[in-house]
Amino acid sequence: MSSPVNYTLTDNIGVITIDSPPVNALSQAVRQGIMDALDVADSDGSKAVVILCDGRTFIAGADISEFGKPLKDPWLPEVVNRIEATDKPVIAAIHGTALGGGFEVALSAHYRCALASAKVGLPEVKLGLLPGAGGTQRTPRLAGIEAALQLMTSGVPIAAAQAMEVGLIDRLVDGDLYEGAMAWAQELVAAGAVPRRTSEQEIPAYDAAIFDAFRGTLAKRARGQIAPQRIVDCVEGAATLSFADGLALERSKFAELMDGEQSAALRHFFFAERQAAKIDGLSKDTPTRPVESVGVIGGGTMGGGIAMSFANAGIPVTLIEISDDALARGLSIIDRNYAGSVKRGKLSESAAAACRALISGATDYAALAEVDMAIEAVFEDPNLKKDIFAKLDAVCKQGAILATNTSYQDVDAIAAATQRPADVIGMHFFSPAHIMKLLEVVRGEKTADDVLATCMQLAKRIRKVPVVSRVCYGFIGNRMLQPYGQQSQLLLLEGATPEQVDGAMESWGMAMGPLRVFDLAGLDVGYKAREALSDEEKGDPASYRVPDLLVEAGRLGQKSGSGFYSYDEDRKPTPDPVVHEIIQTAAADLGIERRKISDEEIVERLIGALVDEGRKIIDEGIAQRSSDIDVVYVYGYGFPAWRGGPMYYGDSASL
């Protein structure tokens, strides 16, 4: 087998070329190939060495196939130290993305150039790790303490121009990267340039208070996560220790994290997200249908967000409403959303205008005659949805995909309202739809394979994370939310307060406690949904006594200014003695003797309810695999990724 690393001598420049598709990952063969190439470069007539990559990207990081396995020599720290120790100037030439270990390779080079389109980053924190090959020590020496901390604790890549501003890149190359890098190498040789070792550079001036300030910020922003704090420890070590001692500190902290529960959970989730896109029993060569235009029925918050999701991906959208006034309201919501994106710096004014221009409106279903996909996004009335699908069946061209955004309803019953059930599928977006990444793709009994394959592919195009579900009430996420919510209500009746329940779950890592979630969604939503259920489907009457009483008292949640909490004009929640009294009265009426409940019991019962229902979903074949459920709950329901998802956590904690 040939090496994925090639070395050539062109004039007086040694060229190390890495060619290991698809992303030039740092496999053992690549690491060894770099070492072997440097040995040749040491002994030949080269005056400088250029490291670059073939294919679509520079080294994009570690080889994920080696995750969880014993590492083979040479380790990456040996490789980067060997690059830096080379006695001839070494230039890294970057295109695509240089991430993680790939960027650490570039940092160990003496000089760095990149195409303007390139991005660089150190995303190890997203796997519960820190850069373990000198990244925490070299980055602050080049970029300064603050920029280094931002880059590593966020894990978000930055553009080459920004990297150049902070000192991580030395030169931007126009045109061909190889030619530009070779020309620069000749310039350096002609100028008598010598190796410029990052390890020998001084840390730029800084305020020592920055470390504690970052620790405090991260304690809130990355609540419960260990890796961001360890990154701060290592960067502080870079500023206060020798380079050798800083590397030793980095190595010890990296090993601690690698052996820890959080990194194991995040690595599980890394693979879970990739596995979720695969559909059991569906051939990889299943054809897909073209989707170059979309219709969205319903211009409310959800419909507008769905329209934006497609427009943001360059796909024209026709928004359908029942009247001109309703359409104007819907389009105004979209206008406000785009204005907010510009204000927050998420989109430039020109980009927002270009996206907005792709969204048009109409009040006649005939406007959807030629769309490739129509998505219904009206409120949860099954009869209304069936009426809409009958209209779509009559007006849409043959081959158009007909999708429902229902959160709960029977997709098969909706499909039966058409003469083409094979073209019908569920596409359950999460609000706000233009921001939330999760998309539950609900496969009906008669959904055609090419429709399913198209929707999974389309999800990636609109930057969503798709998870396949079969048909049941609530699908994966909302079905599991029902026992989770019921358990939260029983805890209230048995002695907990709303603020204790939410506080326990948020301290544990949930983005938002269950009662705050219900207030955000609107308590009347669940109230109306229960009206359509049988007594058996509703479950224990005690589990919805309190929210029913709140709705009947006019406390609908945030939108009415009160629910489980009272809300000010900024929608900040405040515990309300009136709610405590309602809970206590309900408990007495039900004959429930209230007691002191610990935070540990709250967490165990609520997470246990999720896990139990998740296992039923797997047993029934609703979800393909338990890790898919983890993806749903992390991306759709604020479950902490560093705990791996409810199913992973349930197994690891023996729930």
pLDDT tens-digit series, residues 152-187: 999 999 999 999 999 999 999 999 999 999 999 999
Q: Please tell me the CATH superfamily of domain 294-469, with its number.
A: NAD(P)-binding Rossmann-like Domain (3.40.50.720)
**For residue 526, what pLDDT band results from cuts at 50, 70 and 90?**
confident
Active-site residue 165, yes or no? Answer: no
Residues 313, 461 contacting (CB under 8 angstroms): yes
**Is the pLDDT at 27 greater than 80, yes or no?**
yes
Question: Residue 473 corresponds to which tokens in the numbers above?
Answer: 């009430």
Q: What was the pLDDT predicted at 533? A: 77
Judge whether 261 counts as a catalytic residue. no
pLDDT at res. 535? 83
* pTM of the predicted structure, to 2 decimals: 0.92
- Tell me: pLDDT of 275 over 80: yes
| Secondary structure tally for the chain: helices H, strands E | 27, 19
Do 5-253 and 294-469 come out as alike in CATH topology? no
* Topology of the domain covering 5-253: 2-enoyl-CoA Hydratase; Chain A, domain 1 (3.90.226)
- pLDDT score for 1: 58
pLDDT tens per residue, range 545-565: 999 999 999 999 999 999 999
Going from the C-alpha of 1 to that of each of 15, 22, 29, 409, the distances in angstroms are 21, 17, 10, 55
User: Residue 72 has what pLDDT?
Assistant: 86
Once rounded to an integer, what is the mean pLDDT over residues 79-106? 98
CB count, 10 Å around CB of 55?
15
Supply the pLDDT for residue 125: 97
Every domain of the chain and the residues it spans = 5-253, 294-469, 477-621
Per DSSP, what are the bridge partners of residue 317?
294, 359
pLDDT at 56: 96
CA distance 548 to 555: 10
Tell me the C-alpha distance between 617 and 361, whole Å: 39
Q: Phi and psi at residue 637, in whole multiples of 5°?
A: -130, 15
Q: Which of 166-170, 291-295, 377-381, 475-479 has the lowest mean pLDDT?
A: 377-381
| Class (C level, CATH) for 477-621 | mainly alpha
First vs last Cα of the chain: how many Å apart?
Answer: 47
537 exposure class (CB count in 10 Å sphere: 0-12, 13-18, 19+): exposed
> Residue 626 has which token pair?
């338990």
Rounded Cα distance, 235 and 134, in Å: 11
pLDDT(65) > 80? no
- Of 66, 78, 84, 104, which residue is the catalytic one? 104
**Each residue's pLDDT tens digit, 562-591:** 999 999 988 899 999 999 999 999 999 999
pLDDT at 153: 98
Q: What is the 3-state secondary structure (H, E, C) of 479-548?
A: HHHHHHHHHHHHHHHHCCCHHHHHHHHHHHCCCCCHHHHHHHHCHHHHHHHHHCCCHHHHCCHHHHHHHH
Cα–Cα nearest to 517, from 639, 649, 643, 408: 639
Compute the mean pLDDT over every residue in the chain, rounded to the nearest whole number.
95
The whole-angstrom separation of Cα 287 and Cα 265 is: 35
Maximum Cα interatomic distance, the chain, rounded to a whole number of Å:
91
Q: What is the DSSP string of 297-336?
A: E--SHHHHHHHHHHHTTT--EEEE-SSHHHHHHHHHHHHH
Query: From the candidates 66, 78, 84, 124, which is the catalytic residue?
Result: 124
pLDDT tier, 400 (very low <50, low <70, confident <90, very high otherwise): very high
| pLDDT score of 424 more than 90 | yes
Q: Count the residues in the chain.
A: 655
